[in-house]
Structure 1
Amino acid sequence: MHIAVSGSIATDHLMAFPGRFTDQLIPDQLAHVSLSFLVDDLEVRRGGVAANITYGLGLLGLTPLLVGSVGPDFGEYEVWLKEHGVDTSAVRESHTAQTARFLCITDEDSNQIAAFYAGAMSEAREIDLALSAARDRPDLVLVCANDPAAMLRHTRQAKELGIPFAADPSQQLARLTGEEAAELVDGATWLFTNEYEAALLAERTGRTREDILKRVGTWVTTLGRRGVRIERDGEPELLVGAVRRDRITDPTGAGDGFRAGFLAAVARGLPLIAAARLGCAVAASVLDTVGPQGYEADRGRLAESVRGAYGARAAEQLGPLLGQGA
């Protein structure tokens, strides 16, 4: 399966605060918040949801197409992605803006406060998905967080071209109107959200969970430490527990890692439960490292992780993707 991923490409500036954000909040002063956090660490890492997902897909043996907009500072990053199996031929370079920046502070409870500078990402709306499809038609287009106009354009183009698409609006739900959110979701083969985004999607669109399920093929909701929930209209929900970690090094990009593992298994025609288990194993690998692209998807270790969390039979089921030794 050839997968195109449309979304953000960014540089992440990740900081660690040795305390709890909640300890700094005064209940009767929440209307006038003015806070500054002295952080202990700063890590500058490659990121952006589309780049993170294609990185993971590349590690798992696919050659995903990255669709997004960057600045003239992208050169070294592009080499990195190509070295890890990513096709960057659909990446557009801006002549006026730098590559997007993600700034995030994480406290000791893994709560996060973040800001995002769009930069060149705001020009992603200029990318014509139809041109890329004419050269090498994808089997699936994943539309994830990006310039909102680009998200809408690429969703519309996938529908017009008759290409199955996956909707992953994530952080941009806060910027979308109800009509826009509904348009991004309606007709999706796959819908990805976390638990909070699932509730926000329902609030934005004015729809119930049942209404949304009638308009998508499969709804995949990540539940953090509790794993993942998979739903289809008229079928019992499937719950898969997370791969446990006693210590989390950095939560940034775990959801992107899950999507990469999940879609890599789907691309190989594996069952949903196997896809969810691999997604959870890749997400756990992300949690072990700093930054969303700091991990290596060693197939032996992934097989061991799956075996430890779900049993030998689950690892064997992923043998076509992780190798016969699984």
Structure 2
Amino acid sequence: MRIAVTGSIATDHLMAFPGRFVDQLLPDQLHTISLSFLVDTLEVRRGGVAANIAYGLGGLRMEPLLAGAVGPDFAEYEVWLKEHGVDTAPVHVSADHQTARFMCMTDQDSNQIASFYAGAMAEAARVDLHALHAATPLDLVLVSPNDPAAMLRHTEQARELGIPFAADPSQQLARLTGAEVRTLVTGARWLFTNEYESALLRERTGWDHRQVLDQVGTWITTLGAQGVRIDAKDTPTLTVPAVPDVHAADPTGVGDAFRSGFLAAVGWDLPLRTAAQLGCAMSALALAAVGSQSYEIQPQRLLNTLRTVYGEHAAGLLEPKLGTPA
């Protein structure tokens, strides 16, 4: 399966706060918050949702195409992605803006407060899926958080080209209007949210759970330590537990790692349960590392995790696909 991953490409500035955010919030003063947090550590890492997902897919040897916008400061980052199996040819390089910046602070409960500077991402709509598909026929387009105009354009282009698409609006749900969310979701083969985003998506669209399922093929909701829930119309809900007892070094990019594992497995025509299991195993790798592209995919270790947590059947289905390092 040839997957084009559209969305943000960014540099992550990750900070660790040793306390708990909730202890700093006064319920009767929430209308006038003015806070500064003294953090213990700062890690500068490669990130951006699309780049994170492409990194995971590249590590699984899916050779994804990364389709987003960056600044002239992207050269070193591009080399890194290419070394990890990502085709960066579709990336648009801005002459005027730097690559986007993600600034995130995590407390001791793994809660996060973040901000995002778009920078070159504002030009992401210049990426043309028609030209990309003509040069490299696509089997799936993933529309992940990006400049809203780019998300809408790439969704519409996928429809025009008849290419199945996956909708992953996640962080941009707070920015998008109800009409825009309905446009991004309608007709998606796959819809990805976490549990909070699933509620926000229903609020934005004005649809209930059943109405969302009327519009999409399959809805995948990640549930953190509780694993993942998979829903489809007229089909019993499927739940898959997370990998237990993982040391939570940094939650940034965990959902992106899940998406890469899930999409790789469905690209290999494996069952949904197996896809979710691989996604959860990839999430565990990302959770145990600081930074969303710091984990290393070692096929045998990944298979051992799958075998221990999900059983011999899951490992047996994935072993021919994961194989051994090239």
Q: Same fold (TM over 0.5)?
A: yes
Report if the CA contact (8 A) 2:246-2:284 is conserved: no
- SS at 2:68's partner residue? strand
Q: Counterpart of 2:255?
A: 255
Find the aligned partners of 2:89 and 2:311 in 1 and give their Cα distance. Answer: 40
CA deviation after TM superposition for structure 1 residue 322, in Å: 2.2
Report if the CA contact (8 A) 1:245-1:284 is conserved: no
Q: Counterpart of 1:219?
A: 219
Paired amino acid for 1:163: I
User: Is 1:269 the counterpart of 2:269 in the alignment?
Assistant: yes
CA deviation after TM superposition for structure 1 residue 308, in Å: 1.4
Q: Counterpart of 2:18?
A: 18
User: Is 1:284 the counterpart of 2:284 in the alignment?
Assistant: yes
Q: Counterpart of 1:125?
A: 125
* Backbone CA RMSD of aligned residues: 1.0
Runs of 4+ with >6 A deviation? none
Paired amino acid for 2:95: H
Give TM-score, length-normalised by structure 2.
0.98
Report if the CA contact (8 A) 2:258-2:282 is conserved: yes
Residues 166-208 of structure 1: per-residue CA shift (max 9 Å, x gap):
0000000011111100000000000000011111010000001
Q: Counterpart of 2:28?
A: 28
Q: Counterpart of 1:196?
A: 196
Identity fraction in percent? 66
Gapped regions of structure 1 (runs ≥ 5) = none
CA deviation after TM superposition for structure 1 residue 309, in Å: 1.0
Q: Counterpart of 1:134?
A: 134
Gapped regions of structure 2 (runs ≥ 5) = none
Number of equivalenced pairs = 325
Q: Counterpart of 2:84?
A: 84
- SS at 1:141's partner residue? strand
Give TM-score, length-normalised by structure 1.
0.98
CA deviation after TM superposition for structure 1 residue 246, in Å: 4.3
Find the aligned partners of 2:321 and 2:276 in 1 and give their Cα distance. Answer: 13
User: Is 1:152 the counterpart of 2:130 in the alignment?
Assistant: no
Find the aligned partners of 2:35 and 2:62 in 1 and give their Cα distance. Answer: 44
Report if the CA contact (8 A) 2:246-2:287 is conserved: no
Find the aligned partners of 2:252 and 2:102 in 1 and give their Cα distance. Answer: 11
CA deviation after TM superposition for structure 1 residue 247, in Å: 2.2
Find the aligned partners of 1:265 and 1:313 in 2 and give their Cα distance. Answer: 14
Find the aligned partners of 1:291 and 1:319 in 2 and give their Cα distance. Answer: 27
Residues 23-71 of structure 1: per-residue CA shift (max 9 Å, x gap):
1111111111111000000000000000000000000011100000000
CA deviation after TM superposition for structure 1 residue 311, in Å: 1.5
